[in-house]
Each structure stands twice: as structure tokens, then as C-alpha cells.
Structure 1
């Protein structure tokens, strides 16, 4: 939500520049010379927004050193691939639930597994979907943010032309602009149904990933711990369940240490796991039946479906478990980099998995009756116990991929106004994007324990698991097709090929897993329904509040009338009035003045705004506009954040940053306005009018022009005097003290509202609001200098 995220500051945050002194040369603001010819076309808000360097490495992890990339690639093995890496524990038993009826069915299933892993995790995600990252961040909301940046499909009208001047906001588009991209963009922008549908699909996809984060730990841990039954019959099912619960509790308790530490701890274990399953798979492949290499021929897939018909289609629900955790490749890219995940997948994960499944297939060709425990039965005797211990550890780690991905996407959804306020803790001072959410962590732990105790077996959980996996993949493909057409502007032939190949495969898997709805498949849909309801309630009322403020905002005339009222006292000091309204003065200020007829000598209306990008560079964060007349000393400020930016800046308190940027803005504005009015206009060689300053710049480049140096000096002197006078006013207000005024809006359903609207606003939303973090925690505001202003909105 705009301004609702409460985040812990990252260590090592870059220091902000000190406030410019009044003696700073007006021609050089922030080390950059400005052209009044260019500034003349814009107002002050545009001027401030244009203050950006030519390149920014913020958030986009493309210029990272190879040493860091390889380090992150090693870490990613422990975080991203635990889930997909432990799939060999249960894929064959989940596929052949009724046993192997024909020996060549093993080849058919192996062929399906091979092409599924190659097509979806490797081809689709590693080489295509990862390209759709949003300045280094991934997940369902990253795809939605890309679409929001390119087309006006957001439901909250807070877009401003200045947003596109942010360096990270720009989209790198191909040069060949196609007509179909413009048509599709136009249709999406004009269709309110399409906007609601895309937002709902984003919420649904996010909820499914959260559901996947709940089911993954249960499935992985129960599968690994259940392997002990092959060594001893003394362990009962109840013991296995309770051991699994204990492991799950310990796993979630370790999350607070952060992805960085957990990754370094888990990565060696997962590397050993991949080495073992690859080596054992190769051993079984050579020992039992090297002929399974024939499964590379897709004819065996056709023969498999001919023999098994409906049972073969249903068995796809087990085969799809071979790609569980694939969405973590994309959701966790914000914790690492695209290149690091590509390296670890191609060099370690993919070859190890192919060898593991081929080895099990070779074993099953000779032992059809051992399919229910094929993984542990295929392990050579001396390696059983070491492999069991590593399997349990790997299963614990497998849960980490979706837990980390859940934290990432909740952070994104929260910043875009689609999730209640929760605490965001940045856990790494070295790598951006690594976060931990305590409230969500505990809720996930409770849900996992409940499922483990309720379902007890991996077969029942597997029926639910597949739906969550395939549903998210299908939604990702839908968003990706829109990005291919509108943003990447791919050739329509490649888009259609992607839909026919990848889309048809995913829809086939989806139809199979949905057939298990009554056998546990309802569980992820139930989780999704709960989370979508929460997200919809919060987002819907938030939009209603925004439109209410937009409809009732104060006019400039009303503000001037209030400010010039002789009955209104002006107190020394600087008042910062917070609101979420970007387009004007919120109605709550009028409510404040009517009850407290006194305002401070300098007043700044601060609007907190989240852009649909992952990060906003610090020097491009503040946008200022003066509220006329200038003697009122009233300003508007829009503070822009990306959905992965930290909102608490302990190295430099927010109020000091605001004050420094306000001083810079005042200096720059006076200098710009003075030069616009006074500088002589001269003509260039083509007869075009050029500003004196721009002419002076051209002179340095050898262009033969004349400028009135005396007039230029006079302009500089006037600008210096004007800025010094106003800077002195700001300094006095700063020394007198800063007061933070926070609007606390109580929302109720309006008179005559329907029953559904009253339930939505009066009960559901207000219940969520009472149980989440409050807005005064956004910027570490000192409570001694904070004043809350309450007002009731009838929506």
C-alpha cells in the first residue's frame, strides 16, 4: 500500500548529500548546470523530477561483478532449487499410484518428465520468464508492474507524467513498433473489466504462490522423513508426522536469520544432494538398463497415452510434481540475479535431475513392484543412511525456496496497495531484495503444522500440491503473452508458437490436477480464496478512500482563503502533513484548520506514492511543487518509492532528507524563474530563439554567439538574494522544530449503502485495519512531535 509498508532499514544504505548552503552557486545545483530554455516548458514538479543521472545501477542487477554473480549462483542452489531438487523423492510413486502395468510405461513417464523439465523450468522460466523481471525483481506482481508501466491499467488514478522521468521507470523497447501492440494496449486501457481482471489474476497468482509456500514444506519433509520406514518398521505413521512437525517448526524459526545466512548454510547441503542423486542416478542407469535413453524419443509418450487413456491423463498430476518449485526461479530472482540463477540451473540442477529420474527409471524397469518406494529402494546399500540424512536436510531446505518467494511477492503486493500493512525486515546489508516478514512467517508455520497433522500422507497433499503449482504457471504464461506483444513486441509467429507449445502443455496439466479437486485439490483453492478475499477487501476500500479524497480535495482558492484568514495564526516551525493523495490538498487539512485555527510558518503536504517499479533512486525520490501565492510558504511534495525500497532510513532521518531536498528545490526554483524572466533572448544560426544561459553553454562549445554578461550577473545576484531570503525562512522554521501531522481516516459505509458494502467496509476492512501496523511507523517519526488528525469518510 502507498506508504503502508513498515520496513527495517538496510545496513550500508548510501549516505545522502548534505543540504546545499545558501551560498551555493545557483548555476550549479547538485553538480549539474541547468538550461532555463528547457525548464521554461515545465513547472517546478517537472524540474525536480528531471534531476536524474544518465544511468543507475539501483535495483537492476545487470552490472554485477562475476565474483558476486558466482557467489549468488552458489547461494541460489540452497534457496531456489530445494523444492524441485527433492521432487525425485515422490514423482514416480505419485504417478504410478496403481502400480506399473506395462514395462514401457516407465519409458513413457520418463519421456514426459524429461520434456516437461526441459520445456517449463529450463526453456520457459530460465530463458524467457526471467527476462520479464522488473529491474531485477520477479514474481506475479513484477509482471503486473511491467504492464502498469506500459499501459494505464492501474485502478488508482495516481499516475503522473513525471513518473516516466525516473530512470528505472523507462522500458527498453524494440524499435519495430507493431500495430497490434498499440491496439492491445488501447483495448486494455479502455476496458474497465480488463483492468479488474488483470488485478484479480495478479492477486490470484500471488495467493497461489502463498499456498504453494504452505504445501511445499509439508510435502517435502513428510516424503523425506517417511523414508525411514524402509530401514525399520518400528517407526509408525504418527511418529513420522510428529517428527515432521518438529522439523517444520525449526525451519520457520530459522527464517529470521535471513536469506543470506540461510543460503550460505543450506547451499553446501543441496550441492551434496544434487551430487548424490546425480551419481546414484548414473550408477543405476549403467547397472540396470541403459536402454532408458530411448525415452528421449517422444513416441513413447504417445504409446503411453494409447495404453492408459484416461488413467494416463490422470497420472499427469503426479508427473507435474517434477517441476514443483519452478515458480521460485522467478519469485526469488530479487534475492539473486538473473545470470546467477541461469548458471546454477544449467550447470547443476538440470543435469542432476535428468540423471536422477533416468536412474530411477532404469531401476524400475527391473523392479516394477518397488515403485511405491523407488527412490530409497534404488539407493545402493552402503549409501542408504547417508542418503537418508541428506534427503531429510534437503527436504527441509526445499521449503526455503517458496518461503523466500512468498516474502518477496507479499512485499510487492503490499507496496502496490494490495495487502494489509506488515513488517518488512531487510536481512542482508550486501544483497538487495532479501526480506523477512515475521507475521507471514508465523502464519505459514501454523498452516503447515495444521496440514501435516490433518492430511498425514504425501499422497493426499500431492493432490493439492499440483493445483497450486500449475495454476501459477498458467497465470504467468498469460501475463507473459501480454508482455511479449505489448512490451517486447515479438514477432506474432513466436508468440503463437509459445502459446501452442508451452500454453497447451500447461493447460493439459491443469486439467489433470483439477480432476483431483475432491481428493485434496480444494486445499490450495481454499487458501487462495482466503488470501484473495483479504487482498481484495484491502485494495477495494483503499481505492474508495483515494477517490473520496480526490473528489473532496481542497481547491487552491480555498487554501489561499484559509491561509490569508486574519483569524488564522501562523506559528513558528515546519509542519509536515502526510496523506496518500497525489493530486492536491486532502480534505482532512480543512477539517484540521476548522478545529485548530493555527498553522506553522512553513507547511509541506507530503504524499507517499509507490511506483510500479522495484526501486526509485534516492536522488529522484522527492518531487516538490509550490502552492501559490509564494508568501504562504506552502509546498506539496510527492515522495516516490519502488515496491522493494526501504521506507525507514536510519542513516538519515526522513524529516532531514525532506528538509534538505526542500532547500535545494527553493534554490533551484528561484534561479530558474529569474533566468527565465531576465535573460536576453538571442537567435541562433537558424533564426531560432535561444536562452542566454543556453547560449552561454554553446559558447563554451565554440558556437559563435553573444550574451549580455552584465544581465547574466544581475540575474545571478537576484536569484542569490531571493533564495537566501527564503532559505532563511526555512532555516528558522527548521530550528523552531518539526511537527508531523498524520491523517487518520475512519471509513464507514455511507447512508443507504447496500448490505454487501456495509460488510465490506464496516466489518471486513476495519477488522483488518485494527489488526495491522499503523501509519505512524512508516518513517520512524518521533512520537513526541507527532499529531494525529482524525476524520470520518463516508464511502
Structure 2
């Protein structure tokens, strides 16, 4: 593989473009928003109340606690989703884009590089933890969602129980298999299906509220507070399950760049929130009136004739929820590569019209293996619920901490205002995080183990690249010195342009030195190019290229790409014509240094770290495809390094 000469550097400070205008609010946009943004949180009623009631029963709480638990569900959704995300966090966009890494980039941009350099590194580490937890959640969501839907068939046919796991695995395997071909066409059905899903939830819930009107007392937040104060620590297991009601809330922020905050807010306030509230109230009223329905209150709300159609609809909704999480994992992984947190990954674009429709084979394979392992290990959504929650709550706490940084240094809020707004939110999230930690030994360790592995890989990759660059810089020749000598005593000059991709444009790229040593020629025009990832989602064309003349025939070039963009080096260099420089792709050669690393014979890092780093290094995608280089214009020169 080509080495770090073709590696994207960490985020660079560039002039931020004007935030792009949100898409015009239309019914079609709101409908599409339902299918992508709200799939995960929209399937929470399948298991959130059921698991909360199970833990309440295990703690010996009276049946009247149903009102308190439904109140907890309702007000958790209000505070975490409506107040934190819909009202506050959706305002903290990074030029129209959202997500953990967008928030990290925005927070880093608010801190000056000099006096706050250490804080910027800590923010990046915090972002690494958040992204890792998100990947853990991306495995659990498809497993628990599809399992909970398929289990509904056991209410129709109890003998179907042995087939729950095989059918779930079949659905999951098909779901991941279709990713390679893209989901652009079937995604058009996501919105209408979720519209039917939310409407069905609302109608079923509304139809059962009259079963026991006492459930309306759950709208009083004092019932939730009374439940907590009365039962104290005994309520902690219940809180761990209550939090299942807001899993997927991060998608509201992560998908903001695709739909805009107006569509997300409209869909939430007009349909999603009312449907969720009615579903939880209806389930609670039914359980109060018929305690025997506590085993599966969601499906038992349906009349017998509608049970099979409801299971089919629920299965479709859970597949859509899983698809949204998988697509989100692809996007986050691509952003992590752009920010230098992961090696280059092969990215396949699956849509001619939607830039965000991408497929990452390695990420898809890892997620599939994880989901299959979870389904086989736990075998039921009730058992898997014990593993769910820790990753989500951890990610939400990190989002809140990053939001505080943005509020203070980007928006210049005063500390009293920040405390008034965020202390209650952070306090609630920390309580939920503590409650979910009680699930640690029951399976909660699984997302933490996966997150820890992801964190270790990102940290080792970043540290390994930093040390390797330092070593190469100490062994390199200053580019200015070499260019000056070549100008005074030039070798054979050949027509055309040579482009040398490098991670450090201040030193002579090894590929340039090898070309001079072995071929004994120099091109008319030589561009020493560094590719940078900006702290903005996209970079305008007029800020894409920055040139600096070094000596006759030599230029340094910095190419900036947003972390939501796929780098296209030839197209970016073509803008050199604006600077009066000739750039003809048909007379240009791209020189890459193919460096081979060997572990165990150097002192660059501990042996165990070097082995992992070398494996990551070798797994990186070829720079020819990643940087959109024309394969028939690429020249690779080899080099071996011991680390």
C-alpha cells in the first residue's frame, strides 16, 4: 500500500464557508425524514415499557408503579429528545452538518490552536470515545430490534419460538448483504412505511387509554419524581430500561445535514412524539386494566385479527431502523478516516444522485459479524436489552460535554446560563448512565469491550502515524534546500507535470528522491501536495487549493477537503489554472511512495503496538482509488521501514 505520503492529515484550520441553507421544508422531505432519522427511536415502544415493567416486577414494586414508569418514559422523551436535541443541539450545527465528529470539529474550531492545543487534543480523544460507543450501538440496534419484532410471531403461534433466532439471522444477513448494491431505491419506501408505523402506534395507543384513565396521571412529572423518591436505589434497574425509550435520539443530530433542522423538528412535533406518547400511555392503561398483558404489552394492544399484520409491519420498521443505523455507521467511519482517526477505507458510492449513499465493505463485515454474534449469544430481545443502554448513554453524555464547549466558546454563553440549561440535562443523563452500569455483568460489558477495542485502534493509529512522521522528518531533506540545489544544477528536464503526495510538504518526498536517484530526471513542473481535512463538512472551491512557489519549477500545494467530502486530487489541482499555472491531466504523473513497514526490528513503539499499527497500515485502501487518481497516470516507488 502507499504510505502516509498519501494520508489525509488531521483537521486544518481553513476559512469556514457560509452555512448552507437547509433544504426547503416540504411534506416529501418530512416523510423521508421519518424513514431515516426516526427509525431507531420509533421502534423503542416494542420493548421499552415491557423491560421497565419486568424490572419493576422483579423489585417487588406494586402494580400502581405502572403510572410512575410511564411518567418516567414520557418525561425522559420530553427532556432528552425534545429539550436537549430538538431545541438545543440541533442549533449546534457545523455548517449544516451534525453528529459527534461535527460537534468535535466545531468545538475545536472554537478553541485557538495555540493556547488551547491540549484542550483540542482532549476534545479529539472525547470524540474518539463517542464514535467508538456509536459503533457499539450500531451492532446492538439491529439485533434487538429485529429480534423483538420476530418474537411477536410467538403470540400468534407459540410453536414458532425455536425459529425466532434462525429467522432473525436470515433477516439480518439479507439486510447486510443488500448494502453492497446500495439502498437508494428501497429507501424511497422507508418514509411511507414509517408513516404507517407511527400512525398505527398512535391509533393502537389511543384506543387503549380508555382501558384505565388513571394512566393520564403519568403526564404529571410529579408521578415520575414520586416513583424515584419513593423507591430510591430500587428504581435504578427500572431506569436502565426506561432509557431504552430514547435510544436513537443521536440520529436527530447526526442526520441533520441530510434533511435540515426544520424537517426533523416538524416530523418530531407533528407525528413522532405524539405517536410515542400515545403508545406508552395506551400500553400503560392496558397493563393497569389487564395485568396479564405485561408480558408483551405492545403487541397485545392489537386485536387478534391485526396481530399478524402488526408483526409484519413491526419487522419492516425494525429493518428500516437497522438500515438507518448501518448507514450512519458508514458515514461516521468515513468521517473518522477524513479526520485521521482510521486508516483509509475503501468507499463505494451506491447512488448517482445521493452523495451520502456510501458502502464500506470492511465496516459492513465487522457490523454483520457483531450482530450475528449478539443474536446467537443472547437469543432474545429481553436478554439483549441488558446489553443495551450503556453505549447510548455514554455517547449522549459526551455529546452534552461537547455541547457545553460549543455553548461557551463558540456561542459565548455565560456560565450561569450554561449551568441553568445543561446541568439538569447532564444530571439526568449521568443518572441513566449509572443505572445502565448495573447491567454491566448481564451483558452491558459487550458494547464497552467493542468500544474499548475501537478506541485502542484509533489511538494506536493516530500515535503510530505521528511517531512515523516524526521519524521520517528527522531522516528527510528540507524541500527548500533540495529545490534550490536542483534549480542551480538541474538534471535532465522532461516535459509535463509531476505530483508528489506527502504528509509533510516541508521535506522532500521519498518518491521524489527515488525518482531522481533511479530515473535521473525532473519534470518541468513539480507539485508537492498535502491533502488536509478541514474542520468543516465541505470546503468551497475557492478555498480548496493553496499554492506556494519554492523555486523555479517547484510549488507546494495544500488541498483542503471537508470531512463529509471524498477527496478528488486531480479535480482540485485543476484549479491551479486560476493561479496562471498549467495543469493538464494527460501530461501529469502522480508519484506515490509505496512504503512497507516491518514490525519488531525498530524502536519506534512497543512491539505489541507496532504489530497492530502495521496491520492497520497494511489494511488501508489504495490511495489511487481513495484520492480519485487516474490509475494510468500513477507511478509507485517502493521503500521499507522498520518500526
Aligned equivalent of 2:559, options 618, 621, 639? 639
Question: What corresponds to 1:234 in structure 2?
Answer: 159
Partner of 2:397, secondary structure, is: helix
- TM normalised by structure 2 equals 0.92
Match of 1:517 in 2: 440
1:443 matched to 2:366 = yes
Deviation readout 1:29-74 (Å, 9 max, x if unpaired): xxxxxxxxxxxxxxxxx9xx99x9xx76xxx44253334xx43321
Aligned partners of 1:767, 1:135: CA distance in 2, in Å?
35
Question: Is residue 567–residue 627 contact of structure 2 (8 Å, CA) maintained in 1?
Answer: yes
Match of 2:142 among 217, 238, 241: 217
Cα 1:63/1:332, change in 2 over 3 Å: closer
Cα distance in 1 between the residues matched to 2:25 and 2:144: 36
2:25 pairs, out of 53, 60, 66, with 66
Equivalent residue in structure 2 for 1:739, among 589, 613, 622: 589
Match of 1:144 among 95, 100, 104: 104
- 1:787 alignment counterpart: 635
**Is 2:619 aligned against 1:771?**
yes
Partner Cα separation in structure 1 for residue 111 and residue 233 of structure 2? 43
Q: Is the partner of 1:638 in helix, strand or coil?
A: strand
| Residue 284 of structure 1: how far off its partner (Å) | 0.3
Q: Does residue 482 of the first structure (1) align with residue 405 of the second (2)? A: yes
SS of match in other structure, 2:524: strand
1:608 to 507, 531, 538: 531
**Aligned twin of 1:113:** 73
Give the Cα–Cα distance (whole angstroms) in 2 for the partners of residues 149 and 442 of structure 1. 34
- Other-structure match for 1:133: 93
The residue aligned with 2:575 is 661
Rg larger in 1 or in 2?
A: 1
* 1:335–1:431 CA contact under 8 A, matched in 2: no
Distance 1:218 1:84 in 2: 15
Q: Provide the secondary structure at the position in 2 that maps to 1:321.
A: helix
5 Å-filtered alignment, 1:527-566, equals 527-551=450-474, 552-565=476-489
In 2, distance between residues paired with 1:267 and 1:352?
15
RMSD: 2.6
Task: For 1:323 and 1:303, locate their aligned partners in 2 and report how far apart those are by CA, in whole Å.
Answer: 21
| Superimposed CA distance per residue, residues 494-522 of structure 1 (whole angstroms, 9 cap, x where no aligned partner) | 21023321000000000010011000000
Q: 1:617-648 CA distances to partner (integer Å, 9 max, x unpaired)?
A: 223211111112xxx22112111111111224
Is the contact made by 2:602 and 2:642 (CA closer than 8 Å) also made in structure 1? Answer: no
Matches within 5 A, 1:293-332: 293-332=216-255
Distance 1:553 1:351 in 2: 66
Deviation at 1:736, TM superposition (A): 8.3
Question: Equivalents in 2 of 1:739, 1:433: separation in Å?
Answer: 30
- Alignment partner of 1:423: what SS? coil
Q: Alpha carbons of 1:661 and 1:395: their partners in 2 closer, same or farther (altered >3 Å)?
A: closer
1:636-681, Cα deviation, whole Å (9 max, x unpaired): 2111111111224xxxxx54662x4333213xxxxxxxxxxxxxxx
1:588 to partner: Cα distance: 5.0
Could you tell me whether the CA contact under 8 Å between 1:80 and 1:400 is conserved in 2? no
1:521-550: CA deviation from partner (whole Å, max 9, x where unpaired): 000001101211221222222222333454
Pick aligned residue for 1:360 from 283, 297, 316 = 283
3-state DSSP of counterpart to 1:66:
coil
Question: 1:258-306: CA deviations, max 9, x gaps?
Answer: 45434311211111110011011011002x1122111122222233234
When residues 516 and 657 of structure 1 are mapped into structure 2, their CA distance, relative to the original with a 3 A threshold, is closer
| Alignment partners' CA distance in 2, 1:657 and 1:318 | 50
The answer (yes or no) to whether the contact 1:2–1:610 under 8 Å persists in 2 is: no
Q: How many angstroms does 1:308 deviate by? A: 3.0
> Structure 1 residues 419, 331: CA separation in 2 closer, same or farther (over 3 Å shift)?
same
Tell me how far 1:575 sits from its aligned partner: 1.2
* Mapped pair 1:336 → 2:259: yes
Distance 1:634 1:207 in 2: 42
Q: Distance in 2 between matches of 1:134 and 1:735?
A: 34
Name the CA distance, whole Å, in 2 between partners of 1:596 and 1:134: 47
User: Structure 1: which 5+ residue stretches go unaligned?
Assistant: 6-45, 154-184, 649-653, 667-726
Q: Rate the CA distance shift 1:625–1:283 in 2: closer, same or farther, 3 A.
A: same
Secondary structure of the residue aligned to 2:389 is helix
Long gaps (5+) in structure 2: none
CA distance in 1, matches of 2:42, 2:219: 21
C-alpha contact 1:412 1:644 (8 A) present in aligned 2: yes
Q: CA deviation at 1:446?
A: 2.0
Q: Counterpart of 2:324?
A: 401
- Which of 126, 132, 135 matches 1:207? 132
The match for 1:760 among 609, 614, 635 is 609
CA distance in 2, matches of 1:377, 1:150: 51
Q: Which runs of structure 2 are paired with 1:271-286 in the superposition (5 Å)?
A: 271-286=195-210
- Report how far residue 77 of structure 1 moved: 0.6
> Which one of 227, 241, 244 corresponds to residue 168 of structure 2?
244
Contact in 2 for aligned 1:207/1:531 (Cα 8 Å): yes
Match of 1:97 among 43, 48, 54: 54
Deviations 1:381-412 (A, max 9, x none): 33222212211111211212221221121111
- Residue 428 of structure 2: which of 500, 505, 519 is its match? 505
How far residue 585 of structure 1 moved from its aligned partner, in angstroms, is: 3.9
Shift, 1:786, TM fit: 2.0
Counterpart pick for 1:84 among 33, 41, 48: 41
1:4 to 1:349, Cα distance in 2 relative to 1, 3 A: farther
Query: For the residues of structure 1 that align with 2:315 and 2:571, how far apart are their CA atoms?
Result: 51
SS at 2:536 equivalent: coil
- Counterpart contact for 1:421–1:772, Cα < 8 Å: yes
- 1:561 Cα deviation after fit: 1.0
| 3-state secondary structure, aligned to 1:604 | strand
Question: What is the CA-CA distance between 1:580 and the residue it aligns to?
Answer: 2.0
TM-score by length of 1: 0.75
Say if 1:204 and 1:532, in contact at 8 Å, map to a contact too: yes
Q: Secondary structure at the match of 1:646?
A: coil
Partners of 2:178 and 2:586 in 1: CA distance: 47
Displacement of 1:79 in angstroms is: 1.4
Q: Paired residue for 1:267? A: 191
Secondary structure at 1:261's aligned position in 2?
Answer: coil
Whether the aligned pair in 2 keeps the contact of 1:280 and 1:359 (CA below 8 Å) is yes
Match of 2:272 in 1: 349
Q: 1:656 to 1:536 in 2, by over 3 A?
A: closer
- Conserved in 2, the CA contact under 8 Å of 1:79 and 1:401? yes
Cα contact 1:467–1:524 (8 A) shared by 2 = yes
Aligned-partner Cα distance in 2 for 1:94–1:736: 64
- Work out the number of aligned pairs and report it: 632
Distance, in Å, in 2 between the alignment partners of 1:752 and 1:433 is 41
Whether contact under 8 Å (2:559, 2:572) holds in the other structure is: no
Report Cα offsets for 1:207-240 as digits up to 9, x if no partner: 111111110011011111111111222112x310
Q: Is the 8 A contact 1:427 1:435 kept in 2?
A: yes
Do residues 75 (structure 1) and 32 (structure 2) align? yes
The answer on whether the counterparts of 2:544 and 2:572 sit within 8 Å (CA) in structure 1 is no
